[in-house]
Amino acid sequence: MTALATPYYLIDKAKLLQNMEKIAYLREKSGAKALLALKCFATWSAFETMRDYMDGTTSSSLYEVRLGREKFGGETHAYSVAYADNEIEEVISHADKIIFNSIGQLERFADKASGIVRGLRLNPQVSSSTFDLADPARPFSRLGEWDVARVEAVMDRISGFMIHNNCENADFSLFDRMLSQIEEKFGALLKRAEWVSLGGGIHFTGDDYPLDAFAERLKAFAGRYGVQVYLEPGEASITKSTTLEVSVLDTLFNGKHLAIVDSSIEAHMLDLLIYRENARIEPDTGPHEVMVCGKSCLAGDIFGTFRFERELKVGDRISIQDAAGYTMVKKNWFNGVKMPAIAIRELDGSVNLVREFTYADYEQNLS
C-alpha cells in the first residue's frame, strides 16, 4: 500500500461485502428489493462486488441512469427532480421504470414513457432529517406531491410511488412511526399501487440495527397493500467500506498543533464542509492533539481535530474513515488540487489501483 502515492480513496472489498451480506439478508427476510442509489456512490469499479447482492440501481439524472444500465445492470429506475425535453427519450431508453417528481412532469412525459413502468414521488411532509438543507419535507419543498386528491386523478397513468423521507436515520422506531404516518396519509393510494419505493437514508447496515424487526415491518407493509417494496440504499451500501488515504505535507503551531495534508475537504469530502461536520479517524486516541487541515486556500478547509499516539511528522500517512458516500461523486478540481486516485483492496489483501487522475483530466474538465 505504501507504494501508492497519496491521496487516494481505498475501497475495502471485505468491508463492502459485510454491507452486501446484510442487504442480501434483508431482501430474503422481507421480500423487499434493493437498488443502489448512484447519487451517493457511483464508483463502477466496485459494482462487480455489489451486483450479486442488489437488484439494480436508482438514479437522479440522465447520466446516472445510463451508468446504472451500462455498468450495473438489473433493474434500472430513473428519477429526476425535473426532466428536460432534450433528454427524456434517452432517459427512457435506459430505464425499466421512470418516477416523476410532479404531476406536471408526469402529464408532460407520460405518453413518451408509455412503454415502461411509470411512478410518482409522494411527499409525506415528515422526515428524519436534522439538516434543513437536506430535508425533503422542508417548507415549500419541491420534492414530490402531497395532495391525495390530485394524485388520485392521475392514478390511471402510474402504477407505483417513490417516498424518500429518511435521511441518516439509524433509529428504527423513528422509521416505524414515519411509515405509519405515511400509511395514514396515503393509505388509499397505496392500496391502488403495485410497488412502493421507500427510498434511502435508512441506516440498516449499521451496528446493532434491528434488522429482523425492520424486515418484518417491510414484509407487513408489503402484505397490507399488496405491493412490491423497494429500498434505495446509498450510505447503507458502502458505510465503513472506504478510507481516504492522505499524507502530511507540513506541520506548524498557531496556538494549536496543525498538520496540512495533500487533500482537501472542499475538493474531496465536500459534505464535511456543507454540513459543518468533522471527518473521522481511528483510533483517535493518544496524547498528541492535532488539527488536520486540507491544502486548499479555503481557510475553513479542516478535516477536524484528532488525537494521535505520536507527534505527526512530514510524510506520515493518515486514513480518513468512511470516505465512500457522497465523496467520489462530488469530488472537484477546486484550486487544481490533485484529485485522489481510486484503489480497491481485494479479498486477498492486495491493492489494485483502478483509476488515477492527471493534469489532462483537470485541463479537459475546463475549456
Burial 92-117 (b: 16+ CB within 10 A, else e): bebbebbbbbbbebbeebbeebeebb
Contact 201, 168 (CB under 8 A): yes
- Number of continuous H segments (helices) and E segments (strands) in the chain: 12, 16
Contact 279, 320 (CB under 8 A): yes
Q: Is 266 exposed, middle or buried (0-12, 13-18, 19+ CB in 10 A)?
A: buried
Q: What are phi and psi of 48, to 5 degrees?
A: -60, -35
User: Which among 89, 101, 99, 115 is positioned nearest to 158, based on CA atoms?
Assistant: 99
Other C-beta atoms lying within 10 Å of the C-beta of residue 325? 21
Report in angstroms the alpha-carbon separations of 345 from 24, 181, 183, 263, 269.
22, 43, 43, 20, 20
Annotated binding residue 271: yes
CA distance 143 to 77: 17
Annotated binding residue 235: yes
- Where are any strands of DSSP class E within the chain? 8-12, 33-37, 56-58, 75-80, 97-100, 117-121, 160-162, 195-197, 228-231, 242-253, 257-261, 288-293, 302-308, 317-320, 341-345, 351-355
CA distance 94 to 103: 22
User: Which among 140, 138, 137, 144 is positioned nearest to 106, based on CA atoms?
Assistant: 144
Return binding residues for substrate.
235, 271
Please state the residue numbers annotated as binding site. 235, 271
